[in-house]
A and B are shown apart, each in its own frame.
Chain A
């Protein structure tokens, strides 16, 4: 069965960077994209960007351009999301999700990784 397992809780200082991992199993990793979505406490879903696991093409949300990098490691079927220059309003649960190959809905989600940014 398809599973996306994310790395654990992170606590970071303002200005630091965080790198969250998302290990996929149960399907051919390179046949699908991975998207990242975050959710601040008590807020809605915010799309961060997308990466193709086939050729590493990326597309990032404009407001995060310059601070965000998404990568994949096909040898371990793992996707990574790195966010730099962290601010307190980056505190959120970060989710990875598989992008369906048909019409690009997000059909399987990871369990989420809480990233807290605090001095």
Chain B
């Protein structure tokens, strides 16, 4: 089965840049997307097709995907960005989620 691996946690200071990685075999050959989930809330799509932002998602969120790694980057991180982040891709007509990364802004 296909696996996506994320770091369990990332910490960032307010105003700095946070990078969350997602590793999968030849992930760059697939489209990756990212979801943000705050405690007690449903996930929200923040990046799709590797690097596109849905309407309403701030410009400080960006994405890239190449080789075996997709990366979610948050520039000028704000306290409101503290959340769990999940990468996701399709493989052989099934969906795979990464294990999630808890982003702490401190």
Q: Measuring CB to CB, which residues of chain A are less than 8 angstroms from any residue of chain B?
A: 35, 37, 44-47, 50, 59, 61-62, 95, 97, 100, 102-107, 109-112
Contacts of A112 in B (CB 8 A): 42
Given the known inter-chain contacts A45-B86, A95-B42, A95-B43, please indicate yes or no for A103 contacting B48, CB distance below 8 A.
yes
The stretch among B9-17, B21-29, B65-73, B96-104 that forms the contact with chain A is: B96-104
6 A-B pairs closest in CB distance: A47-B95, A105-B48, A109-B42, A44-B100, A105-B33, A45-B97
Bin chain B's interface residue count: 20 to 34
B48-A59 in contact (CB<8A): no
Interface of B is mostly: strand
Given the known inter-chain contacts A35-B95, A45-B100, please indicate yes or no for A105 contacting B45, CB distance below 8 A.
yes
B94-A47 in contact (CB<8A): yes
From A46, A47, A103, B31 is in contact (CB under 8 Å) with A103
Q: Report 29 cross-chain contacts, Cβ distance below 8 Å, ordered by A residue.
A: A37-B97, A44-B86, A44-B99, A44-B100, A45-B37, A45-B43, A45-B86, A47-B96, A47-B97, A59-B94, A95-B43, A97-B43, A100-B48, A102-B49, A103-B31, A103-B33, A103-B49, A104-B90, A105-B45, A105-B48, A106-B33, A106-B45, A107-B45, A107-B48, A107-B54, A109-B43, A109-B44, A111-B42, A112-B42
A-B pair number, CB within 8 angstroms: 57
Q: Measuring CB to CB, which residues of chain B are less than 8 angstroms from any residue of chain A?
A: 31, 33, 35, 37, 42-45, 48-49, 54, 84, 86, 88, 90, 93-100
Report the Cα distance A94→B97, complex, angstroms: 15
Report the Cα distance A46→B4, complex, angstroms: 12
- Given A45-B86, A95-B43, A107-B48, 20 more pairs with CB closer than 8 A: A37-B43, A44-B97, A47-B94, A47-B95, A47-B97, A100-B48, A103-B31, A105-B33, A105-B49, A105-B88, A106-B33, A106-B35, A106-B43, A106-B45, A106-B88, A107-B54, A109-B42, A109-B43, A109-B44, A110-B42
